[in-house]
Amino acid sequence: MQALKQKIQAEGIVLSEQVLKVDAFLNHQIDPVLMQQIGHEFAQRFAGQGISKIVTIEASGIAPAVMAGLELGVPVIFARKYQSLTLKDDLLTSKVFSFTKQTESTIAISAKHLTAADHVLVIDDFLANGHAANALIEVIQQAGASIAGIGVVIEKSFQSGRAQLDAQGFRVESLARISSLADGQVSFLE
């Protein structure tokens, strides 16, 4: 997706060979027009697949997921990473290890909002080592729901997440695929 790649080149900051900071338009400040374009792109790529629900994870997945949900005409669920007073019954949970934070946390989705009848599109901001995506897949499968695919805004293709998801047979659609962050430069696959 050309507009996204241009935005990454213009406003992304390479913090290390592993970490790209996109706080200017996705992870802290959000560009709503770009989010709408991203939602449109996801909706086009997964059109006609019978998707009934989108599942993402707080906080940075919410904006692209809601824009995709608007266009596909389906509700969005964001998995909670943190305890909530009002979210405590009938929870589907999974452990997720955050590479960037070096901590393990538990993500939770209410079983009330996800059933075996659902066909789910997973959306997340980043795909790196696949920990968040795999945790989301696990809770969705606990609900008995099926998975239409995984939509990723920015994939770090040099890390293992994409290969793992491919190996499990999931359809992955990444809007920007980064082959390297070496020498402070963002290089894209293609």
**Residues numbered 55-94 forming contacts with its own copies, rule: CB under 8 A:** 58-59, 62-63, 66-67, 69-70, 73-78, 80-87
What tokens were used for 124?
């997340």
CA–CA separation, 57 and 72 (whole Å): 18
Q: Which residue's CB is nearer to its own copies, number 104 or number 166?
A: 104
Identify which of residues 36 and 164 has a Cβ nearer to its own copies in the complex. 36
Q: Kindly write out the interface string for residues 108-147 of this chain, putting x where it contacts its own copies by CB under 8 A and - elsewhere.
A: -xx-xx----------------------------------
Task: Please give the Cα distance from 127 to 163 (Å, whole number).
Answer: 11
Q: Is residue 179 exposed (0-12), middle (13-18) or buried (19+ Cβ within 10 Å)?
A: middle
With CA atoms as reference, report the closest residue to 77 among 145, 22, 28: 145
CA distance 40 to 19: 27
Residue 15 touches its own copies, criterion: CB under 8 A: yes
Q: Is there a binding annotation on residue 21?
A: no
Residue 62 per-residue DSSP state = H
Residues that bind its own copies (CB under 8 A): 15, 19, 21, 23-25, 27-33, 35-36, 58-59, 62-63, 66-67, 69-70, 73-78, 80-87, 100-101, 109-110, 112-113
Q: Residue positions in the annotated binding site?
A: 20, 27, 128-132, 156
